[in-house]
Amino acid sequence: MPDISENYLQSLLHETEEKLRLTGLELQELKAGLDEAVIVSVSNAKGEIIHANQMMTKITGYSVDEIIRKKHSIFKSGYHSRDFYRNMWDTLLRAQIWKGEIKNKAKDGSFFWVDTTIVPFVDEDGDIFQFMSIRKDITERKFLEDQAEKDRAAREYAGRLAAVGEVASNIAHEIRNPLA
């Protein structure tokens, strides 16, 4: 068996420690970038929030202390059906990524929409040990879509009223014509 020198082992250890340090710095930078760009939370296997970034506290109105150890159901708006949430959990519990749009309720009672991706984290035994939720605020887009739909419906209604008015005018004309 070859003799490995103490210097070589020290060099290898130093190199490994340096790689770990750089990986840690890279992870910190990635986390900082995510925290600036999107709403992030991490939940344990029971669905209890164990991490929430500042963007999450900003959109929900809750402080980090109010959110930690709570379930995401504190944000439920009542908009989505049980089947919606059942489908989401069925997907996640199969260790698959779930994506969708969710209407939530903030602490002050206002509503907000988030485009959501939830990623289950699986250990070496295949068991889920946590979930990471990454969200983007789409409230303004949903408001504009809703407004456009209301405008379209109003135009359609006005068109139907105009058609009814034209029919009524024709009927009135036909009734008056023989009398003349």
Burial of 49: CB neighbours in 10 Å, binned 0-12, 13-18, 19+:
buried
- The band of 149, judged by pLDDT with boundaries at 50, 70 and 90, is confident
- How far apart are alpha carbons 74 and 67 in whole angstroms? 9
Q: Which of 106, 115, 118 is nearest to 58 (CA)?
A: 106
Distances from the Cα of 22 to the Cα of 8, 17, 34, 69, 166, angstroms: 21, 9, 18, 32, 76
Does the pLDDT of residue 150 top 70, yes or no?
A: yes
> Is the whole-model pTM more than 0.85?
no
Average of per-residue pLDDT across 43-72: 95
pLDDT (tens digit per residue) in 124-143: 999 999 999 999 999 999 98
- 12 versus 41: the higher-pLDDT residue is 41
User: Which string of DSSP letters, residue by residue, matches 104-137?
Assistant: EE-TTS-EEEEEEEEEEEE-TTS-EEEEEEEEEE
